[in-house]
């Protein structure tokens, strides 16, 4: 089975796409065939006769496996609201079986799947983000946007992921605002609860600390899968 990581976040705007794209580029630099997916995206623009999402386009640019847009983002919804509401208002049915089949079909060495919003975002009346990650047998990576409330959001998200029976393989700190106070202290606090971060992404781009990425994401095979650039 192709190793699959599901990237979720503490909330909307925490930097999931930035981190997912950076991971994809890093893996591709190591010679891996990386496929990226944004199965459900709300907040799309009408481009060349169809709805397109900027996050999905960013993932396509970072991936080393070339896929059609509809493979990367099969559910593209116009309104920038909760996806289950945007789907309902657009008359779109989110089919879990179809999403899973679409992600499993392409050939790749590693697959990165970015969620919509945070972990507890519904995708339908009886469908949650956890259901998609579970069906994909994916390890979960939590992106923590370092801002006021980050500790609470991160610890609640981690608890929910584990309560849903998924494996939280690690978390990545994202320095959203260079002026946000006590960022290092927040990282240390979360580290004492969740273990040290797999990596820290700098506000101006680039990894500040990514020494644990390989082993944390892929276990003992990490060094072979995630080569240093």
The reply, when asked if residue 195 is annotated as ligand binding, is: no
Those residues whose C-beta lies under 8 Å from the C-beta of residue 86, and which sit 6 or more positions away, are 42, 77, 78, 79, 80, 92
The reply, when asked if residue 196 is annotated as ligand binding, is: yes
The reply, when asked if residue 16 is annotated as ligand binding, is: yes
- Please report the pLDDT score of residue 214 as a whole number: 83
Q: Is 4-225 assigned to CATH 3.30.390.50?
A: no
pLDDT tens digits along 147-190: 999 999 999 999 999 999 999 999 999 999 999 999 999 999 99
This prediction has a pTM of 0.95
Query: Is the pLDDT confidence value at 1 over 90?
Result: no
Q: Name the residues annotated as catalytic.
A: 38
The reply, when asked if residue 132 is annotated as ligand binding, is: no
Query: Is the pLDDT confidence value at 228 over 70?
Result: no
Band (226; pLDDT cuts 50, 70, 90): confident
Query: Is the pLDDT confidence value at 223 over 80?
Result: no
The reply, when asked if residue 158 is annotated as ligand binding, is: no
- Please report the pLDDT score of residue 229 as a whole number: 53
Q: What is the mean pLDDT of residues 105-113?
A: 97
What token pair was written down for 86?
């945007």
What token pair was written down for 10?
């503490």
What residues are paired with 174 via a beta bridge? 145, 201
The reply, when asked if residue 14 is annotated as ligand binding, is: yes
Q: What is the mean pLDDT of residues 212-227?
A: 78
Band (65; pLDDT cuts 50, 70, 90): very high
pLDDT tens digits along 196-212: 999 999 999 999 988 88
Residue 200 has phi, psi (to 5 degrees) of -125, 125
Closest alpha carbon to 24 in 79, 95, 72, 68: 72
What token pair was written down for 181?
């106070």
Domain definitions of the chain by residue range: 4-225
- Please report the pLDDT score of residue 221 as a whole number: 66
Give the integer Cα–Cα distance in Å for 104 and 102: 6
């Amino acid at each position: 089975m192709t190793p699959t990581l599901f990237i979720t976040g503490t909330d909307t705007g925490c930097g999931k796409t930035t981190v997912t794209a950076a991971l994809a580029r890093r893996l591709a630099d190591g010679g891996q065939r990386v496929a990226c997916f944004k199965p459900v995206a709300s907040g799309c623009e009408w481009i060349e006769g169809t709805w397109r999402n900027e996050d999905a386009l960013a993932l396509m640019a970072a991936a080393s496996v070339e896929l059609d847009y509809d493979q990367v983002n099969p559910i593209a919804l116009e309104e920038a609201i909760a996806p289950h509401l945007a789907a309902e208002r657009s008359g779109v049915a989110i089919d879990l079986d179809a999403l899973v089949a679409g992600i499993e079909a392409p050939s790749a060495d590693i697959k990165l799947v970015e969620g919509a919003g945070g972990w507890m975002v519904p995708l339908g009346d009886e469908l949650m983000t956890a259901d998609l990650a579970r069906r994909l047998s994916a390890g979960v990576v939590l992106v923590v946007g370092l801002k006021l409330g980050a500790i609470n959001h991160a610890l609640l998200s981690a608890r929910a992921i584990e309560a849903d029976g998924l494996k939280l393989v690690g978390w990545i700190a994202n320095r959203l605002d260079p002026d946000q106070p006590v960022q290092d202290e927040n990282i240390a606090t979360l580290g004492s609860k969740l273990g040290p971060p797999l990596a820290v992404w700098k506000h101006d781009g680039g990894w500040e600390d990514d020494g644990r990425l390989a082993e944390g994401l892929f276990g003992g095979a990490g060094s072979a899968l995630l080569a240093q650039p």
